[in-house]
């Protein structure tokens, strides 16, 4: 490992050497672990001194373990903009407004260039429900500063997003404790 690779990044755009460019990374599929994978990248980047923002589009009604921890980390912008699971909503117009507000924040973070990584957690649900236009997201990704990485999570990533992305991982369920009637567990699932 070179000295440059081993050193902390320091500031936005740090580590931007020859050949480095921001990537669009998508974690999709019906399996567990999409947000977890994105948060692993968040903590890796923070360890390198990079500036990171996370915008959560769905989670919002409860304080997850990752949210509680994120609130203690300097240099991490962690915005919980959702109102909970949209498919359980009693007011889709409020959900749409929350998704639109989240997207405006996310687009500003992506386009502003101050962040090295911006995570759009569960934005694919907002796309699926038509709360955010697919073209708007794709335009924001194409117009971002060249050093900004964007990580997108959620099921059913649209084909155009998959085509634009540099890295796509599809999580698929093989076995899950929920199938045996076990509920989500603190520290493992939230």
Predicted TM-score of the model (pTM)? 0.86
In a domain, 50, yes or no: yes
Q: Which two tokens stand for residue 88?
A: 């359980």
Residue 157: HSE in the Cβ half-sphere, 13 Å Cα cutoff: 27
Burial of 134 (0-12, 13-18, 19+ CB in 10 A): middle
In a domain, 187, yes or no: no
In a domain, 65, yes or no: yes
In a domain, 180, yes or no: no
In a domain, 5, yes or no: no
As a residue count, the chain comes to: 190
User: Distance between CA atoms of 96 and 43, rounded to whole angstroms?
Assistant: 30
> Taking Cα atoms as reference points, which of 32, 82, 76 lies closest to residue 52?
76
In a domain, 190, yes or no: no
In a domain, 39, yes or no: yes
Per-residue confidence in pLDDT tens, the chain, 190 aa = 343 444 444 455 555 555 579 999 999 999 999 999 999 999 999 999 999 999 999 877 678 889 899 999 988 999 998 765 555 566 788 888 889 999 999 999 999 999 999 999 999 999 999 999 999 999 999 999 999 999 999 999 999 999 999 999 999 999 988 888 888 887 777 7
C-alpha triplet 16, 42, 44: angle, nearest 5°: 70
How many other CB atoms sit within 10 Å of the CB of residue 89?
15
In a domain, 112, yes or no: yes
User: Distance between CA atoms of 94 and 32, rounded to whole angstroms?
Assistant: 27
Residue 25 belongs to what domain range?
20-172
How many other CB atoms sit within 10 Å of the CB of residue 152?
26
In total, how many domains does the chain have?
1
Burial of 155 (0-12, 13-18, 19+ CB in 10 A): middle
């Amino acid at each position: 490992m070179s000295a440059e690779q081993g050193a902390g990044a320091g500031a936005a755009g740090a580590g931007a050497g020859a050949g480095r460019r921001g990537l669009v990374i998508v974690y999709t599929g019906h399996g567990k672990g999409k947000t977890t994978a994105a948060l692993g990248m968040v903590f890796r980047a923070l360890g390198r001194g990079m500036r990171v923002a996370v915008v959560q589009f769905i989670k919002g009604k409860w304080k997850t373990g990752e949210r509680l921890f994120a609130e203690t980390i300097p240099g991490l912008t962690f915005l919980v903009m959702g109102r909970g699971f949209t498919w359980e909503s009693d007011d889709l117009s409020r959900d749409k407004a929350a998704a639109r507000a989240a997207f405006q924040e996310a687009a500003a973070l992506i386009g502003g260039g101050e962040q090295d990584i911006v995570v759009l957690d569960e934005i694919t649900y907002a796309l699926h429900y038509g709360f955010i236009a697919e073209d708007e997201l794709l335009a924001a990704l194409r117009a971002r500063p060249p050093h900004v990485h964007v990580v997108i999570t959620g099921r059913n990533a649209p084909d155009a997003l998959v085509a634009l992305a540099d890295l796509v991982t599809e999580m698929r369920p093989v076995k899950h404790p929920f199938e045996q009637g076990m509920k989500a567990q603190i520290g493992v699932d939230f």
